[in-house]
């Protein structure tokens, strides 16, 4: 039997799909690149905010057209975890629903599904905790960059977020298992590790009783073949002096960090149930920049949170102007059922949310352009991602996460493969991209 995976959402979802594909392949299933070739289609959904839910539902309906050809359709991921009962009743065309903690059950479930006289299934276990076998993960043919999940779930109780109810409590993986997986990735040709979790900075507290990300990073930096190690999803209040010193001292750790601060108004931060304050943000960002002068900090913001006034929004705008983040994304607050924020008074009109989002992004575009213009004339290491039709190459610097941040388009001196790191002289700059030529 052949299976096609259609994955939506964040890097954590793609990591889950790779594990699920490996489990199925080890069980004798074939993994194919097109739904046309498949006997079974698995849609791994996102259910974080409303737009993601709509996209996931649309994709399920798109894939359901293949039912006419006799194919089976299974829905997994966050949307399935969150709304399994409702979806099971309202989408009879779907043959099975699978939660985020249950991928190791897929071979047995699909075996049963494809046997005669087998009904639809719904397997959703929010409390189940299983660390999947490291060797199960199916890697791409040339995995020069790869996510490395160091934990699952979340213990934070942000007022706007449903993730803890979907993915369960925070569960760190053991260091030796993470290092073993990283070594396997390196042996397969991986040069860039992107560390992911719902909160990377909390790593180790649940099983070791202390914040162990610095020690884990030291271990990962010893692996031959790994050139870049990138940190995503670090909470500001857990960025310790030890972590900053580790980043500054270990050459393989990119001078890049993702810190989703969400807001800068103390009143809104408290209402969001965030532990940061405007002062603590200033302090931590200042420490990072002092220890690592060329660090590029990525952040995400939420505008239009319930009760956000014009004064709160002005504070956020001023903070963005003062901090001048190298990379920044903005979301309009999404009212999610089951969250504390959904029941708050003073919900903001969608039009006002969009105006506030646009206002910050216009300013951020100017900041991003200034960052890029400062790089003109410099020579930078660029990791090749792909070759363009015109013969040029598209890649990234250590300051840019794959699929998320800026690109460098450059004229080569010779042919390259994805993952090659080449020296590029920057000759032109745009709002979010750079151009240059190999030297």
Question: Annotated binding site for [4Fe-4S] cluster: which residue ranges?
Answer: 10, 46, 78, 154, 158, 161
Quick check: 3 and 24 in contact, CB under 8 A? yes
Residue 262 burial (10 A CB sphere; 0-12, 13-18, 19+): buried
Question: Smallest Cα–Cα separation from 324: which of 279, 366, 358, 373?
Answer: 366
| Chain length of the chain | 439
CA dihedral 267, 270, 276, 282 (to 10 degrees): 0
Query: Degrees (nearest 5) of the Cα angle 156, 203, 180?
Result: 140
The answer to whether residues 154 and 184 touch, using CB atoms and an 8 Å cutoff, is no
How far apart (Å, rounded) are the C-alpha atoms in residues 359 and 353? 10
DSSP letter (8 states) at residue 144? S
Give the closest residue to 82 by CA, choosing from 109, 51, 47.
47
Question: In which element (H, E) is residue 112 found?
Answer: helix 106-114
Supply 290's token pair. 């002092």
- Cα dihedral 327/388/4/177 (nearest 10): -50
Give the contacts of 258 (CB within 8 A, at least 6 positions apart).
Answer: 231, 232, 233, 234, 298, 299, 327, 401
CA 273 to chain centre: 22
386 vs 394: CA distance, rounded Å:
5
CA distance to 105, 165, 377, per residue, from 27 (Å): 11, 30, 53
- Which residues make beta-bridge pairs with 41? 4, 73
The candidate with the shortest Cα–Cα distance to 198, out of 190, 206, 208, is 206
**Quick check: helix, strand or coil at residue 425?**
strand
- The two tokens of residue 114 are 């494809």
Structure tokens, 406: 């800026």
Residues 115 and 288: their CA atoms lie apart, in Å, by 57
């Amino acid at each position: 039997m052949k299976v096609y995976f259609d994955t939506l959402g964040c890097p954590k979802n793609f990591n889950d799909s790779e594990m699920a594909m490996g489990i199925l392949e080890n069980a004798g299933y074939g993994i194919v690149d097109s739904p046309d070739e498949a006997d079974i289609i698995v849609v791994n959904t996102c259910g974080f905010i409303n737009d993601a839910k709509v996209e996931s539902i649309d994709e399920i309906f798109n894939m359901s057209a293949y039912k006419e050809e006799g194919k089976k359709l299974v829905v997994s991921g966050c949307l399935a975890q969150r709304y399994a009962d409702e979806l099971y009743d309202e989408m009879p065309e779907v043959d099975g629903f699978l939660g985020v903690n249950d991928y190791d059950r897929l071979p047995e479930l699909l075996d049963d599904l494809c046997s005669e006289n087998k009904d639809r299934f719904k397997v959703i276990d929010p409390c189940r905790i299983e660390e999947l076998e490291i060797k199960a993960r199916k890697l791409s043919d040339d995995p020069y960059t790869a996510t490395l999940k160091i934990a699952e779930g979340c213990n934070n109780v942000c007022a706007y977020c449903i993730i803890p109810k979907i993915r369960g409590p925070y569960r760190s993986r053991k260091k030796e298992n993470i290092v073993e997986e990283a070594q396997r990735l390196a042996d397969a040709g991986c040069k860039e590790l992107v560390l992911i979790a719902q909160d990377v900075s909390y790593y180790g507290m649940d099983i070791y009783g202390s914040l162990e990300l610095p020690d884990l990073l030291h271990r990962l930096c010893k692996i031959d073949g790994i050139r870049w190690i990138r940190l995503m999803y670090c909470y500001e209040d857990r960025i310790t002096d030890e972590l900053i010193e580790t980043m500054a001292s270990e050459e393989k750790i990119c001078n890049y960090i993702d810190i989703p601060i969400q807001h800068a108004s103390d009143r809104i931060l408290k209402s969001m149930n965030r532990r940061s304050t405007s002062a603590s943000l200033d302090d931590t960002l200042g420490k990072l920049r002092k220890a690592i002068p060329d660090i590029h900090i990525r952040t995400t913001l939420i505008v239009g949170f319930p009760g956000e006034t014009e004064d709160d929004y002005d504070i956020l705008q001023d903070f963005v102007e003062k901090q001048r983040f190298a990379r920044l994304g903005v979301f309009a607050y999404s009212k999610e059922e089951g969250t504390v924020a959904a029941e708050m008074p003073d919900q903001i009109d969608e039009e006002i949310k969009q105006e506030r989002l646009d206002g910050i992004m216009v300013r951020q575009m100017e900041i991003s352009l200034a960052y890029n213009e400062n790089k003109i004339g410099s020579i930078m290491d660029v990791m090749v991602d792909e070759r363009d039709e015109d013969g040029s190459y598209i890649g990234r610097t250590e300051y840019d996460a794959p699929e998320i941040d800026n690109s460098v388009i450059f004229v080569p001196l010779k042919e390259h493969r994805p993952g090659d790191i080449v020296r590029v002289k920057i000759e032109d700059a745009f709002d979010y991209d750079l151009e240059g030529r190999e030297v």
